[in-house]
Amino acid sequence: MAYKNLLLESADGVATITINREKVLNALNDETLTDLSNAFDECREDADVRVVILTGAGEKSFVAGADIRELAKMNPLSAKDLAYRGQQVLAKVEHMGKPTVAMINGFALGGGLELALACNLRTAATTARMGLPEVSLGIIPGYGGTQRLTRVAGPGVAREWILTGDMFTAEEAHRVGVVNRIFPPEELLAGTMKMVESILSRGPIAVRFAIEAISRGSNMPQREGEILESDLFGLAASTEDMHEGMGAFIEKRKPNFQGK
């Protein structure tokens, strides 16, 4: 599929989606949201894609937020539609079923950080800066940030980040659990790929079930989540991969998972 504002490349099981509006620091306009929605559909449907990395073009920015030139025209009804549409696209990212990594190469602000929070994992360059500055524009996060930041880092961190609207360093984001791993900028890709290669070496069905147990389970009472976990645990025992994984351990060799 042809995309206007992003690049999609795929090799060796890893699809890389690069948001490509460098002149405006990769701000998310309506067209870019459509591109993102289609690209995540394409990655979900492509059986050769096992992990998706999402990043921003250039060295300065991951995504500097929703496009403020579009936001400036909002009225109450269109604002609600705009938030709802962005939430739908980010829900698609969150629930695409394959591991997703936001590789934060620079500014991740407002809708940009909200997009990163919809991914399963986040890596960042030590030079990256992130935050939810919406209150400084007289609005609040509208792409799920009030909900996902709270779930990822807890209500204390979410209140601090959202109420101050401050920008935080990658080190601080790492310290409070917003970002999983940080790397010097020149090592960001290699460091992210090392994490991705770990995931690729594991049982692919098990990885997908684990994502589902964590994502769906975190929206359930704990006991319900545990029941979901035991259901998926049982389903994992129906796979050839389980026999391969355990057989390899007993035979002291590396497993050769087939995703079956």
**Contact string (CB under 6 A) for ligand HXC, positions 16-35, x = contact:** --------xx-x--------
- Report the alpha-carbon distance of residue 231 to residue 225 in Å, rounded: 10
Contacts of 142 (CB under 8 A, 6+ apart): 66, 79, 82, 83, 86, 87, 111, 134
Q: Select the residue interacting with ligand HXC from 3, 40, 107, 257 (CB under 6 A).
A: 107
Residue 132 beta carbon to ligand HXC: minimum distance, rounded to whole angstroms: 8
**d(C-alpha 16, C-alpha 39), whole Å:** 10
* Binds ligand HXC (CB under 6 A): choice among 4, 30, 41, 69: 69
Is position 131 an interface residue for ligand HXC (rule: CB under 6 A)?
Answer: no
Q: Is 102 in the site for ligand HXC (CB under 6 A)?
A: no
Window 221-250: contact mask with ligand HXC (x via CB under 6 A): ------------------------------
- 240 tagged catalytic: no
Q: Is 211 in the site for ligand HXC (CB under 6 A)?
A: no
The verdict on 179 binding ligand HXC (CB under 6 A) reads no
One of 35, 67, 94, 241 touching ligand HXC (CB under 6 A)? 67
53 binding ligand HXC? (CB under 6 A): no
Among the listed ranges 49-57, 133-141, 151-159, 241-249, the one in contact with ligand HXC (CB under 6 A) is 133-141
| Beta carbon of residue 149, minimum distance to ligand HXC (angstroms, whole number) | 13
Nearer to ligand HXC, 82 or 211 (CB): 82
Residues 192, 99: Cα–Cα separation, whole Å: 13
User: For ligand HXC, which stretch binds (CB under 6 A), given 36-44, 81-89, 228-236, 247-255?
Assistant: 81-89
Amino acid at 37: S
Q: Which of 134, 172, 244, 251 is catalytic?
A: 134
CB 111 within 8 A of CB 63: yes
Nearest residue to ligand HXC, scored by beta-carbon proximity: 110
Say whether 45 is catalytic.
no
Cβ proximity of 82 and 104 under 8 Å: no
Scanning the structure block, which residue is given the tokens 């029941």? 227
Catalytic residue among 42, 45, 70, 114: 114
Binding part of the chain for ligand HXC, among 4-12, 38-46, 139-147, 241-249 by CB under 6 A, reads 139-147
Q: How far apart are CA 66 and CA 230, in angstroms?
A: 39
Residues recognised as catalytic = 114, 134
